[in-house]
Structure 1
């Protein structure tokens, strides 16, 4: 097999809630085929170094609904800086494409706003776009997102916990079924069990609730693409369309290029080769 010719493009991949850099591994392998480089970011509080609630891995998971998260003090600034640190390291590539999934759209957008010279294109994969409304929760609560699932997955009081907590290791089959139906309904069950075991339980509350303010002179000048997930049950397609439309109204000089992918909120699990092809376009 011939070696791929480097394209001069690097993809900086930002995961969504409860995930990590590892979610992108299969997509990165597919991107490497045509010669594209890629770097996946671990946002603070995610990945193998993320601190867990003390009872999470113990029998019976004591205190899981009530123990305050050790991520409660993390801010959107911390998360944006993690993205910026990677962008600075890869700027020597001819083209830098910043890709954000789901809740990762907030940190990625703030990073692009602060340093637009580091980004040649930004891609939102069923991701939060703060162009029209500054907080992710402002879209999650819209009528357009009323069909979305997953609210029953949240444990405890997010304000008291300082995080939106889920339980990927729950012993309750009904809970696990809801987790799969919300995020991974088109991923085979045997593979989903591996995926859920790698999820972190806490999403720092700052990520969905902190306002992100964008400007036409900075974020607005970056070419942008939205990859819609047509059968998304975690962020309804109508809510995705609302974010696109409101961002385009707020920044009409540089509207989104929009493509639609089949399937769920998690194409990196169900069809990574197709996702890589969409990114490579």
Structure 2
């Protein structure tokens, strides 16, 4: 993407934020595959399904091993590779192609590994307020310097191998707080400490970064957003929403994802 085109992409993102119901150039039957954030699962994307379906798209939000409806598979052996394999299996057995792969938060770690191994099935890679690792990095490596010690202490204070969830964003409705609190589960610390192993070299897929601007004081995603914003190989967007936009701002997020999918590669 040329520098001028990059700046236009950034301006377009602000228009999406400002308009309540922007006109979107529709793509036909796009498949969006979500790698969910930590402690969460497919259930947390339920508000997005009818919105994407109404626009003619398919949204798949699989649940990782050990979380959500698969909590009976919780194990101290579950790690980042387990979750990468979960998503790769969905791609294989659902025969998904021409995928817009979305990685939210911790899901950026998973999505990077999936994109590395399923390059022929993916047309775009979208990081939604997510970690963006390189080969050999774990979430503990790419996160703030204090994250490793904090997670280790939290796991030690609990059952010794799982990390409890982060606080729910403060702008979440009371009903949604209750809904989320009843379903979030602690997650194996190995998911956060296992380094990503890339097999195919650097990714050259079209990549976009969506930065959710209602940040917390300890915002771990700004460095990735700034990097994408200043790299002409990325498309950069901002959304006026807190970290779980699929819960607190589903309509705006659905519109933005559809707009990204409609852009030329």
- TM-score of the aligned structures, taking structure 2 as reference length: 0.76
Match for 1:78 among 75, 79, 82? Answer: 82
Greater RCO structure (CA 8 Å; 6+ sep): 2
2:176 partner SS: helix
Match of 2:140? 137
1:50 partner SS: helix
2:38 partner SS: coil
Could you tell me how far 1:19 is from its partner in structure 2? Answer: 0.6
Q: Please list every run of at least 4 consecutive aligned residues from structure 1 whose deviation after the TM superposition is greater than 3 angstroms.
A: 89-93, 244-249
2:126 partner SS: strand
Q: How many positions carry a matched residue from both structures?
A: 231
Shift in CA distance, 218/88, structure 1 to aligned 2, threshold 3 Å: farther
Match of 2:207? 224
Could you tell me how far 1:219 is from its partner in structure 2? Answer: 5.0
1:11 partner SS: strand
Q: Deviations over 1:18-61 (max 9, x none)?
A: 11101111112111111011111111111122039xxxxxxxxx
Within-5 A mapping of 1:1-281:
7-51=28-72, 70-91=74-95, 93=97, 95-131=98-134, 134-142=137-145, 155-157=154-156, 161-166=160-165, 182-200=167-185, 202-214=186-198, 218=201, 220-233=203-216, 236=219, 239-244=220-225, 255-281=233-259
Structure 1 distance, partners of 2:135, 2:229, is: 8
Could you tell me how far 1:102 is from its partner in structure 2? Answer: 0.8
1:108 partner SS: helix
User: In angstroms, what is the RMSD of aligned CA positions?
Assistant: 3.0
1:183 partner SS: coil
Shift in CA distance, 110/35, structure 1 to aligned 2, threshold 3 Å: same
Structure 2 distance, partners of 1:92, 1:17, is: 23
Q: Does the CA-based 8 Å contact 2:228-2:236 persist in structure 1? A: no
Match of 1:67? none
Q: Does the CA-based 8 Å contact 1:116-1:219 persist in structure 2? A: no
Shift in CA distance, 15/205, structure 1 to aligned 2, threshold 3 Å: same
Match of 1:65? none
Shift in CA distance, 248/186, structure 1 to aligned 2, threshold 3 Å: closer
Structure 2 distance, partners of 1:108, 1:32, is: 22
- TM-score of the aligned structures, taking structure 1 as reference length: 0.72
Q: Which runs of 5+ in 1 are unaligned?
A: 53-69, 146-150, 167-178
Could you tell me how far 1:89 is from its partner in structure 2? Answer: 3.9
Structure 2 distance, partners of 1:117, 1:259, is: 25
